[in-house]
């Protein structure tokens, strides 16, 4: 139905940068919103940033000013530029898409996640 392919995770030193990408494919009629969540061991999954097809964005307070979310509607792709990374940013980052498929209403889909590790 909907598949999400994430890339860009890795190991980076504190203060460094990474750029995550998430491409959605499948029987997609349209996408209403795309978002990045993250989950660290022993912690709840939290919203990092979200963007609607109209370009509205939302950020977690902990990343505002450091992370930037952007999207390419034509490619069904969302990006997360992460700057000034901190050890507390270490987590599995998961792509989330609110998509419309044939004969359905908008549904949330999740990617497998990509590991981001910030450490010296």
51 beta partners:
34, 57
Mind listing the pLDDT tens digit for each residue in 7-41? Answer: 999 999 999 999 999 999 999 999 999 999 999 99
Q: Does the pLDDT value for residue 112 go beyond 90?
A: yes
The pLDDT, as a whole number, for residue 120 is: 92
Helices H, strands E: what count in the chain? 0, 11
Contact present, 97 and 31 (Cβ < 8 Å): yes
Tell me whether strands 114-118 and 10-12 are parallel, antiparallel or unpaired. Answer: parallel
The pLDDT, as a whole number, for residue 96 is: 97
Mind listing the pLDDT tens digit for each residue in 51-81? Answer: 999 999 999 999 999 999 999 988 999 999 9
Mind listing the pLDDT tens digit for each residue in 83-92? Answer: 999 999 999 9
| pLDDT confidence band for 1 (50 / 70 / 90) | confident
Burial class (CB in 10 A: 0-12, 13-18, 19+), 75: exposed
Decide: helix, strand or coil at residue 62: coil
The pLDDT, as a whole number, for residue 73 is: 85
């Amino acid at each position: 139905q909907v598949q999400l392919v994430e890339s860009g995770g890795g190991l980076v030193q504190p203060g460094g940068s990474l750029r995550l990408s998430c491409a959605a494919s499948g029987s997609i009629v349209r996408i209403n919103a795309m978002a990045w969540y993250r989950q660290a061991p022993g912690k709840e999954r939290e919203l990092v940033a979200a963007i609607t097809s109209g370009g509205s964005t939302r950020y977690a307070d902990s990343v505002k000013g450091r992370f930037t979310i952007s999207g390419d509607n034509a490619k069904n792709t969302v990006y997360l530029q992460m700057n000034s990374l901190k050890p507390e940013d270490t987590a599995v980052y998961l792509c989330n898409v609110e998509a419309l498929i044939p004969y359905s209403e908008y549904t949330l889909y999740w990617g497998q996640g990509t590991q981001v590790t910030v450490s010296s």
